[in-house]
């Protein structure tokens, strides 16, 4: 049996006051109300178990207090952390968080944007980068334009085709710093397992690696740049590929463009009986929670993913409050040395001596 919920009219009636007075009390308006009236209203509301109808309030106020976070897949730990950060801030500020999985498919993303427009979502956070499908930038631009026209706010947490305020991890500096860390450990032949070529952050990380190599006066060996796909499988394949390289040309360290690839590298090398870090050092990028759980614990570049989500949400809310926000903010990243990296082994060092006498 469905019982009707009490509305503000019922409360006003029971309290013996006007609807307006009831509203003024119940909505927390600053409009003056006599203490007596206030008490009567509160008592009636309590008695009727009154709950305000946010739908009606939103319709009236032209703002929904709903924000959305658009991710490739919320079960991917990278996005999971961001979503958590967003939700934290949203919850604190009285917003509800809608999670939207696009699977990096244009259709799903655009469909969600349409629905969010229908619901008058106050803001949208793009956690991932731009998609690489034909017609994407233009269609997205159009969808976003109508949201902005409506007064909604949009923020991205990665490089994007969208010209909206953004906050991003410093992928370039992070990759460069990690490469330098490996160099300081004594590595010269440093491999890199790239990410998908159509994902911008993957390319930026590759650039950081290359910059550090060039700066250290080391030649970039195309044979040491393996193509990956940001997933574990591509890490395993990279491990196989490394085994194919003649021992004297083999890298003494491999830097994966993200943690998942590094995990694949770890399991692939383990299967091939190549010990990490004794025979080869491995590192990743991202510092997912499980990076410290695997054995040996993964050396990686730390991104404060949860903090990125929080900062993104804060930025969005600031925009909703019509505050000025910088168009681009960069979050620092840093190397976290753990157990998968060490100085190159004696054998390798000996070889290295031969290489660079």
Contacts with DNA, residue ranges (CB under 7 A): 4-5, 7-9, 17-21, 23-24, 26-27, 29, 31-34, 36-37, 50, 52-53, 56-57, 59-62
Phi, psi of 168, deg, nearest 5: -135, 155
Query: Scanning residues 191 to 220, which ones bind a copy of itself (CB under 8 A)?
Result: none
Cis peptide before 296 (omega within 30 of 0): yes
Please name which of 253, 300, 255, 304 lies closest in space to residue 278, comparing C-alpha atoms.
Answer: 253
Residue with tokens 């990686």: 300
Q: Which does 333 bind (CB under 5 to 8 A by kind): DNA, a copy of itself, none?
A: none
Query: How would you write 292-311 as a 3-class SS string?
Result: HCCCCCCEEEECCHHHHHHH
Q: How far apart are CA 185 and CA 353, in angstroms?
A: 15
Tell me if 163 contacts a copy of itself by CB under 8 A.
no
| Structure token pair of residue 77 | 């730990």
Q: How far apart are CA 159 and CA 169, in angstroms?
A: 10
The residues facing 69 across adjacent strands are: 99, 125
Closer to DNA by CB, 39 or 184: give it.
Answer: 39
Tell me if 109 contacts a copy of itself by CB under 8 A.
no
Beta strands (DSSP E) in 160-273 are: 166-169, 190-193, 225-226, 253-256
Report the phi/psi class of residue 192: left, alpha or beta, with left for phi > 0 and alpha for psi in -120 to 50: beta
Tell me if 280 contacts a copy of itself by CB under 8 A.
no
Q: Which does 245 bind (CB under 5 to 8 A by kind): a copy of itself, DNA, none?
A: none
Query: Scanning residues 251 to 270, which ones bind a copy of itself (CB under 8 A)?
Result: 260, 263-264, 266-267, 270
| Structure token pair of residue 78 | 């990278």
Q: How far from 269 is each of 26, 179, 239, CA to CA, in Å?
A: 64, 20, 6
Shortest separation between residue 146's beta carbon and a copy of itself, angstroms: 6
Q: Which does 264 bind (CB under 5 to 8 A by kind): a copy of itself, DNA, none?
A: a copy of itself
Residue with tokens 């929080």: 310
Angle 176-219-200 from CA coordinates, rounded to 5° = 40
Please name which of 68, 93, 66, 64 lies closest in space to residue 155, comparing C-alpha atoms.
Answer: 68
Size of the site for a copy of itself (CB under 8 A): 58
Q: Which does 293 bind (CB under 5 to 8 A by kind): a copy of itself, DNA, none?
A: a copy of itself
Q: Which does 77 bind (CB under 5 to 8 A by kind): a copy of itself, DNA, none?
A: a copy of itself
Q: How far apart are CA 275 and CA 345, in angstroms?
A: 11
Closer to DNA by CB, 62 or 184: give it.
Answer: 62
Query: Scanning residues 81 to 100, which ones bind a copy of itself (CB under 8 A)?
Result: 81, 83-84, 87-88, 91, 96-100
Closer to a copy of itself by CB, 119 or 214: give it.
Answer: 119
DSSP-assigned states of every residue in 131-169: --STTHHHHHHHHHHHHHHHT-EEEESS--SS-S-EEEE
Tell me if 304 contacts a copy of itself by CB under 8 A.
no
Q: Which does 14 bind (CB under 5 to 8 A by kind): a copy of itself, DNA, none?
A: none
Are 279 and 52 a contacting pair, CB within 8 Å?
A: no
Tell me if 293 contacts a copy of itself by CB under 8 A.
yes
Tell me if 55 contacts a copy of itself by CB under 8 A.
yes
Tell me if 36 contacts a copy of itself by CB under 8 A.
no
Judged by CB under 8 A, the stretch of 13-21, 37-45, 73-81, 221-229 that binds a copy of itself is 73-81
Query: Scanning residues 110 to 129, which ones bind a copy of itself (CB under 8 A)?
Result: 112, 114-115, 117-120
List of residues contacting a copy of itself (CB under 8 A): 2-3, 5, 49, 51-56, 58-59, 64, 73-75, 77, 80-81, 83-84, 87-88, 91, 96-101, 108, 112, 114-115, 117-120, 146, 149-151, 232, 260, 263-264, 266-267, 270-271, 289-290, 293-297, 306
């Amino acid at each position: 049996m469905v019982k009707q919920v009490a509305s503000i009219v019922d409360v006003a009636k029971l309290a013996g006051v006007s609807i307006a007075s009831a509203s003024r009390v119940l909505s927390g308006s600053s409009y003056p109300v006599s203490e007596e009236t206030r008490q009567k209203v509160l008592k009636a509301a309590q008695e009727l178990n009154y709950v305000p109808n946010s739908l009606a309030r939103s319709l009236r106020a032209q703002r929904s207090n709903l924000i959305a976070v658009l991710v490739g897949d919320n079960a991917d730990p990278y996005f999971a952390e961001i979503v958590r950060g967003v939700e934290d801030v949203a919850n604190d500020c009285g917003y509800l968080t809608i999670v939207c999985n696009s699977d990096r498919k244009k259709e799903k993303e655009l469909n969600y944007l349409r629905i969010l427009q229908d619901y008058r979502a106050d803001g949208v956070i793009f956690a991932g980068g731009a998609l690489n499908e034909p017609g994407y930038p233009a269609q997205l631009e159009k969808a976003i334009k109508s949201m902005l026209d409506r007064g909604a706010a949009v923020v991205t947490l990665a490089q994007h085709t969208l010209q909206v305020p953004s906050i991003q991890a410093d992928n370039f500096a992070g990759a460069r710093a990690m490469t330098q860390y490996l160099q300081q450990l004594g590595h010269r032949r440093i491999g890199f397992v790239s990410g998908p070529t159509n994902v911008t952050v993957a390319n930026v990380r590759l650039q950081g690696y290359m910059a550090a190599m060039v700066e250290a006066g080391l030649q970039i060996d195309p044979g040491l740049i393996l193509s990956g796909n940001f997933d574990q499988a591509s890490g395993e394949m990279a491990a196989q590929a490394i085994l194919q390289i003649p021992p004297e040309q083999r890298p003494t360290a491999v830097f994966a463009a993200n943690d998942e690839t590094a995990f694949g590298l770890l399991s692939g090398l383990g299967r091939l009986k190549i010990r990490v870090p004794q025979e080869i050092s491995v590192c990743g990028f991202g510092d997912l929670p499980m990076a410290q759980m695997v054995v040996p614990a993964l050396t990686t570049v730390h991104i404060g993913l949860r903090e990125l989500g929080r900062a993104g949400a804060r930025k969005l809310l600031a925009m909703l409050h019509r505050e000025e926000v910088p168009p681009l903010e960069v979050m620092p990243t840093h190397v976290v040395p753990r157990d998968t990296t060490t100085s190159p082994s004696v054998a390798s060092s000996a070889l290295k001596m031969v290489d660079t006498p």
